[in-house]
Amino acid sequence: MEQITSSYNLFVDTSTGHNSQSKGDDYMVNLQDAGVHAGEGEHIRMSLSNFSMAKNFTDVNDTNNEFILSMQNSNPAHGINGAIVKLDNRNYSSVTDLATNFADKIGAQMLAAGQGFTLNAHTGMETITHDNIITFTINTTAAHNYTSGLILFNSDISDSYALLGGNRWKTADPITPQGSVTVTIPSITSVKVTCHYPAQRSTMPFVYIRAPGVLNTNIETQGLRNPNDNHNSDVAHSNILGRAVVESQEWIQFTAQSERDFFIDIHQKQLNVLRLKLTDSKNRLIGRRDHSNTATGTGTEQSTLGNLSFSAVLRFDIIKRKSVHHLETEHYQPPIPARFSEGNVPIKIR
């Protein structure tokens, strides 16, 4: 049995009032003056009531834009050996648009190998709109002399396998000729790439709101904690407070429909400091793999001086739990015999 003894609403805006420890997507709140504490037999419950932020990051970004390209040439001096290639970071209007950039990046690597040819228009993309499976042919003006090609999507560092529709590969895995997608050489002036699965223009359906350092009993699957596939168990303790759907190119918003949509039961009596951190589903900072301050743009301070921030409403309930160790019933009270009563009024016996 639970009883709420007191409640507080905390309104958070991370765009202003930053201290040296706070960023717009990794914010520290000092609660020492707020008096959020629980007494004997009580605990603190923190719930996410509302969340809102502008979508100031691109769907294709440093968390999903990278692949590895190798191409064997009859002249080894013109081969491509494990080149790290990145798609342009932006919002793509269609999978065909994404496929065009994919083809452009491979074509640019072929040109950089210095064989003297130029590129004709890419072909073979007409069927992409039917099933979103990327396929294209890169055409050259002269013999390219490539004999085979290999593309790898390293899931340890990038979600490009999900973005482009290929098989995951990890650094510890052996390199096989099949790679993550199919690369063939139809002729001396063409290279064809065919992905295995439907592509998607984004790999981030949710923004996760986390509260690191708060002791609680929530759990999460390991994939939500580790950015790679090296999981030693299925679940682990979680610091996730809630998540918000990325459903438009303008805003990301969440409003609770009940008191317990997303909550954390905090098992500490006093809450002095609260850290609120935004991540993607792999526990990475939004739009980036390293600890830079910018998710998208040419500036370097998007989360400190720029517009990468959020607002939220958190609710704190002080919960008192009643422990029942034995059956609690009312003591038996024998009824008054009918002969000692008149109507509904008992007769006093002397």
pTM of the model: 0.86
Q: Is 95 helix (H, G, I), strand (E, B) or coil?
A: helix
Q: Which of 205, 212, 315, 214 is nearest to 258 (CA)?
A: 315
In a domain, 29, yes or no: yes
Is the per-residue pLDDT at 107 higher than 70?
Answer: yes
300 token code pair: 């370097």
89 and 125, same domain (yes or no): yes
Do residues 81 and 145 share a domain? yes
Same structural domain, 144 and 255: no
pLDDT, position 277: 96
Q: Examine the fold and report which residue of 171, 198, 225 is the final residue of a domain before the chain moves on.
A: 198
Predicted confidence (pLDDT) per residue in 1-56, tens digit? 789 999 999 999 999 866 778 999 999 998 887 778 888 889 999 999 999 999 99
One domain for residues 36 and 88: no
Q: What is the pLDDT of residues 117-168, one digit of tens each?
A: 999 999 999 999 999 999 999 999 999 999 999 999 999 999 999 999 999 9
Same domain for 113 and 48: no
Task: Report the number of distinct structural domains present in the chain.
Answer: 2
The confidence score (pLDDT) of residue 333 equals: 72
Q: Which residue in 313, 227, 296, 314 sits closest to 54, CA to CA?
A: 296
The domain boundary, picked from 198, 215, 237, lies at: 198
Domain termination residue (choose one: 165, 180, 198): 198
Closest CA to 138 of 165, 101, 98: 101
Percent of the chain whose predicted confidence (pLDDT) is above 90: 69
Contacts of 72-77 with CB under 8 Å at 24 or more apart are 72/146, 72/147, 72/148, 72/149, 73/113, 73/115, 73/144, 73/145, 73/146, 73/147, 74/145, 74/146, 74/147, 75/115, 75/145
Question: What pLDDT is recorded for position 92?
Answer: 97
- pLDDT greater than 60 at residue 234: yes
Is there a contact between 29 and 12 (Cβ–Cβ < 8 Å)? Answer: yes
CATH label of the domain that carries residue 43 = 2.60.120
pLDDT band for position 256 (50/70/90)? Answer: very high
Q: What is the mean pLDDT of the chain?
A: 90
| Dihedral angle computed from the Cα positions of residues 123, 126, 130 and 133, in that order, rounded to the nearest 10 degrees | 10
Range of the domain at 180: 66-198
- Asked whether residue 336 is assigned to any structural domain, the reply reads no
Residue 302 confidence (pLDDT) above 80: yes
User: Is residue 251 situated within a structural domain?
Assistant: yes
Residues 296 and 253 in one domain: yes
Question: Which of 152-156, 225-229, 280-284, 289-293 bottoms out in mean pLDDT, i.e. has the lowest?
Answer: 225-229
180's torsion region: left (phi>0), alpha (psi -120 to 50) or beta?
alpha
Confidence of residue 349 (pLDDT cuts 50, 70, 90): low
| In a domain? residue 331 | no
Q: What is the pLDDT of residue 328?
A: 53
**Residue 111 belongs to a domain:** yes
The verdict on 36 and 76 lying in the same domain is no
Q: Evaluate if residue 343 carries a pLDDT over 80.
A: no
**What pLDDT is recorded for position 66?**
97
73 and 37 in a common domain? no
Residue 167: the pLDDT is 97
Distance CA 301, CA 276 (A): 19
**Unique residue bearing structure tokens 């979600």:** 159
Enumerate residues 6+ apart whose C-beta is below 8 A from 75. 115, 145
Query: Are 97 and 44 found together in one domain?
Result: no
* Residue among 46, 36, 42 nearest 320 (CA): 42
Query: 249 and 299 share a domain?
Result: yes
Q: Which residue has the higher pLDDT, 142 or 291?
A: 142
Residue 117 lies in a domain: yes
Nearest to 162 by CA among 63, 257, 246: 63
| Number of neighbouring beta carbons within 10 Å of residue 94 | 13
Give domain status of residue 172, yes or no: yes
- Note whether residue 341 is domain-resident: no
Residues 165 and 218 in one domain: no
Q: Which helix (H) or strand (E) holds 180?
A: none
Residues 201-229: tens digit of each pLDDT: 999 999 999 999 998 888 998 888 777 66
* 173 lies in the same domain as 263: no
| Nearest alpha carbon to residue 135 among 72, 198, 47 | 198
pLDDT score of 327 more than 80: no
Q: Token pair 């439907």 is at which residue?
A: 198
